[in-house]
Structure 1
Amino acid sequence: MNKGTVIIVGAGIAGLSAAYYLINDGWNVQIIEQNSLDNNCSYGNAGMIVPSHFTPMASPGMISQGIRWMFDKKSPFYVRPSLSWNLMDWGLKFMKYANKNHVDNHVEPLRDLNVYSSKLYDRLSQESDFDFELEQNGIMMLYKTKALEHEEIELAKRAQDLGLDVEIKSAAEIQALESDVQFDILGGILYKCDGKLNPMKLMKQLIAYLKSKGAIFQEQTTVKGYNITGKKIKELVTDKGNFAGDEFVIAPGAFLMELTNKLGLKLPLMPGKGYSFLYNPPSDVKLNHAALLLEAKVAVTPMDGKIRFGGTMELGSPNNKIYQNRVEGIVNSIPKYLKNLSVDYPKQDIWYGYRPCTPDGLPYLGRVSKYENIAIAAGAGMMGLSLGPAMGKAISQILSNRKFETDISVFSPDRFE
């Protein structure tokens, strides 16, 4: 049964996941992407599936920590100075939500969405069209200081209370998990509920699958506006022509505000620039688990025989510059935790992308009340890849007027109206 045509803006993991579930639910799908299909934030991320990330980025302590980091050009977090009203407005809202009540009210919806998304990855990996190195063997959270040890153990206990599979480990117990790597740590937490995958393989396989099912892709296409009648969008206006549809899904990652401002919608969001690079470890070193180097905020993911290192959160207007000191901060932190890995500054193939960061640390997921045929799937920040399948599945359910498996009401795109 043909349910009609859906125009999806954005070919990142949220947009492609929405396309996957929609096309299998009987919709015609067209995907509009402003870049090429092999150039968006979903390709270069750490590939982590993280039910462990049940607390929003807007949380107690983030403001004071962020201020301390601001004075270190190699720190994990940086706000590039700007007179931008969007940045100032975002910052004021972030301060409003960085409190315990906000966290307490949203840990369960975030946990449920991440856990459900992880299950959807399991199902996807069992299909014959997909083999994207999915391993649900856990992620190690590694720390070096007593202060962070206390915080992480408290967080791990809360995770256990929420029903997540989590183990608190000594340094020796972490070392026993990885015989080839020499750790210099105080201890760690193994979030057995977490997993990892190869995002490059996943994205390419999703695109190939969608094309085989009749999805139409329009690359290098910029949205200029919308043709609107009453409370319905009739056409998407682009520099490559107009695209008519019955439903429209806006999933453009960090460029959400550019598209929704044209619709008179208030969805505050800032791009958070991150860097990553691939490293060829020595032949006698194999890393089995993904890890987060907590004080440094660096992600470490074994991927296709290599190791991907990634990190930093640099808020500000998008640009095409690679700031060497940000990458040096990642490189310099690695031997402080992984003693036998000698990682040089990557002379080439440094990847960067922009995470879509909302001021309350929650994604935008659902319909908007101002229009009858628009749904939003964006703003998942550092959880973008982890939440992709669940966000896509939710969009499919919403457009077919079916109830979604978890409570997503707190992620309403209307919450800042």
Structure 2
Amino acid sequence: MAKNIVIIGGGIVGLSSAYFLHKAGHQVTVIDKSDITSGASFVNAGYITPSHIIPLASPGKIAQGIKWMFNSASPFYMKPRWDVDFFKWSWYFHKSSTKEKVEKAIPVIKDINLLSFDLFKAMKASGDLGEFQLERKGLLMLYQTQKSFDHEIDVAKKASFLGLEVKELNKEELTKLQPKVLVNAEGAIHYECDGHTTPTEFMPKLVTYLKSVGVIIKTNEEVIDVAFTDTKITSIKTTKAQYKPDEVVMAAGSWSGKLSKKLHISLPLQAGKGYRINVERDTGITIPSILMESSMAVTPMQGFTRFAGTMEFSGINTIVRRERVAAIVNGAKRFYPELDILPNEIDAVQTGLRPVSPDGLPYIGRSKDLTNLTFATGHAMMGWSLGPATGKLVSELIDAQKTSMDISAFNPNRKF
């Protein structure tokens, strides 16, 4: 039976949910406070990463964050501030950062990433969006020190055990793979299982397709209130209109926590700001790479190379911290000594806010309090990678179908 569904949020997760819900025969309206041309879904590294099996909340991460707290240029920056929600989230993050919880999360993260990769491929094969970049060149984890190698080889062994394709490369082998650019690295771990896209190409094509098939997309429209009874959302009020949906999908990214409060639901979530710089000229870089000691990502996209990185917890804001931008520029130079990022490229930097749950796993599932509310948020650094999978799972949940995978680990009602 067709339902009238409102999706709050027009990022990759919200639009992917609209895609699969429309395919299932529902009438879908997407509401976004922006014009859907910027934000985390546009400034990310474009990775589809089955290899990213370790959640953000891992042993030693909080200690590292505290160590870096007063260095605003650090890769993992937690701005000191008086914020009760941030204190609670930090405590939950600490509780989640155990070896046992990480080991439990690893196979689930792998499974949802593989599901999403298959769905990206299916979306391309369908022709719905026309032609778009979807390549599987893998991901190079470039290292300069023994410490970084020791850390990554341990992850690689876990990935290989789970059946993911991974290879160890020495300096000579790395040079053969990247012959057109000088790479200052001792070697790399090559996760051949990974793929990449160009977000600024994919997102507009997805919006265009959704509009063409009758999905209603409301931009520059902010949700300001949500009315509900004891068990059901009855209406959504925005800055421009009022809606009375049968079902609601909360896919508002970093704003999901604040909106959930309007429903008297506590959803621990913090905004993790990332930065990106685009270099619109030939860099010679042809394979996506993580520069380990610089804690940043490099991706060859359609028409440019993207340098992206940092995780900054400073609340919901789009303030550009120049010291963090400089850290990306310097980090790139450390690995690519012959590559200069130019002042005009630096000035065009953009930021995006990634919604981070305390354990680094997304919230995908039905609310236990409101029968017509489904959560689809909290993906941390995997939002782009997991967009289609989340959309597919959301459509299955709303249609009360068996989900494509076990999603109990993503339960939005879980305790920390």
Fold-level similarity (TM above 0.5):
yes
**AA in 2 matched with 1:299:** A
Confirm or deny that 1:55 pairs with 2:92: no
- Does the CA-based 8 Å contact 2:70-2:79 persist in structure 1? no
**Residue 286 of structure 1 corresponds to which residue in structure 2?**
284
User: Distance between the aligned counterparts of 1:141 and 1:67, measured in 2?
Assistant: 25
Q: TM-score when scaled to structure 1? A: 0.97
**Residue 296 of structure 2 corresponds to which residue in structure 1?**
298
Q: For 2:189, what is the secondary structure of its paired residue?
A: strand
**Residue 386 of structure 2 corresponds to which residue in structure 1?**
387
Deviates more, 1:340-349 or 1:92-101: 340-349
**Residue 331 of structure 1 corresponds to which residue in structure 2?**
329
Residue 348 of structure 1, CA deviation: 2.6
User: Distance between the aligned counterparts of 1:49 and 1:289, measured in 2?
Assistant: 13
**Residue 154 of structure 1 corresponds to which residue in structure 2?**
154
Q: For 1:263, what is the secondary structure of its paired residue?
A: coil
- Does the CA-based 8 Å contact 1:13-1:203 persist in structure 2? yes
Residue 134 of structure 1, CA deviation: 0.6
- Does the CA-based 8 Å contact 2:228-2:263 persist in structure 1? no
**Residue 217 of structure 2 corresponds to which residue in structure 1?**
217
Residue 269 of structure 1, CA deviation: 0.5
Residue 71 of structure 1, CA deviation: 4.2
- Does the CA-based 8 Å contact 1:50-1:195 persist in structure 2? yes
**Residue 204 of structure 1 corresponds to which residue in structure 2?**
204
- Does the CA-based 8 Å contact 2:291-2:335 persist in structure 1? yes
Number of aligned residues: 414
- Does the CA-based 8 Å contact 2:325-2:346 persist in structure 1? no
- Does the CA-based 8 Å contact 1:266-1:416 persist in structure 2? no
- Does the CA-based 8 Å contact 1:280-1:306 persist in structure 2? yes
**Residue 5 of structure 2 corresponds to which residue in structure 1?**
6
**AA in 2 matched with 1:12:** G
User: Distance between the aligned counterparts of 2:239 and 2:40, measured in 1?
Assistant: 23
Q: For 2:141, what is the secondary structure of its paired residue?
A: strand
Residue 298 of structure 1, CA deviation: 0.8
User: Distance between the aligned counterparts of 2:90 and 2:168, measured in 1?
Assistant: 34
- Does the CA-based 8 Å contact 1:331-1:344 persist in structure 2? no
**Residue 176 of structure 1 corresponds to which residue in structure 2?**
176
User: Distance between the aligned counterparts of 1:152 and 1:80, measured in 2?
Assistant: 28
User: Distance between the aligned counterparts of 2:313 and 2:72, measured in 1?
Assistant: 13
- Does the CA-based 8 Å contact 1:69-1:77 persist in structure 2? yes
- For residues 248-259 of structure 1, the aligned pairs below 5 Å read 248-259=248-259
User: Distance between the aligned counterparts of 2:358 and 2:147, measured in 1?
Assistant: 26
**AA in 2 matched with 1:389:** P
Deviates more, 1:209-218 or 1:340-349: 340-349
**AA in 1 matched with 2:34:** N
**Residue 36 of structure 1 corresponds to which residue in structure 2?**
35
Residue 416 of structure 1, CA deviation: 3.1
- What do residues 296-324 of structure 1 show as CA deviations (whole Å, max 9, x unaligned)? 11110011131010111110212232110
**Residue 410 of structure 2 corresponds to which residue in structure 1?**
411
User: Distance between the aligned counterparts of 2:70 and 2:314, measured in 1?
Assistant: 16
Confirm or deny that 1:228 pairs with 2:228: yes
**Residue 341 of structure 1 corresponds to which residue in structure 2?**
339
**Residue 194 of structure 1 corresponds to which residue in structure 2?**
194
- What do residues 258-299 of structure 1 show as CA deviations (whole Å, max 9, x unaligned)? 1101111121000011110101344xx432111111121111
Structure 2: segments with no counterpart, 5+ residues: none
Residue 131 of structure 1, CA deviation: 2.1
**AA in 2 matched with 1:88:** F
- Does the CA-based 8 Å contact 2:299-2:306 persist in structure 1? yes
**AA in 1 matched with 2:304:** K
- Does the CA-based 8 Å contact 1:197-1:303 persist in structure 2? yes
**Residue 84 of structure 1 corresponds to which residue in structure 2?**
83
Residue 347 of structure 1, CA deviation: 4.4
Deviates more, 1:18-27 or 1:183-192: 183-192
Q: For 1:190, what is the secondary structure of its paired residue?
A: strand
User: Distance between the aligned counterparts of 1:402 and 1:229, measured in 2?
Assistant: 26
Confirm or deny that 1:310 pairs with 2:278: no
Q: For 1:260, what is the secondary structure of its paired residue?
A: helix
- What do residues 103-144 of structure 1 show as CA deviations (whole Å, max 9, x unaligned)? 011111111001110111111111223322110110111111
Residue 227 of structure 1, CA deviation: 2.0
Q: For 2:364, what is the secondary structure of its paired residue?
A: strand
Q: For 1:330, what is the secondary structure of its paired residue?
A: helix
**AA in 2 matched with 1:183:** V
Deviates more, 1:269-278 or 1:73-82: 73-82
**AA in 1 matched with 2:161:** D
Q: Pairwise CA RMSD of aligned residues?
A: 1.3
Q: TM-score when scaled to structure 2? A: 0.97
Deviates more, 1:353-362 or 1:66-75: 66-75
- What do residues 66-108 of structure 1 show as CA deviations (whole Å, max 9, x unaligned)? 2333343322111112101111111111111111011011111
User: Distance between the aligned counterparts of 1:53 and 1:265, measured in 2?
Assistant: 30
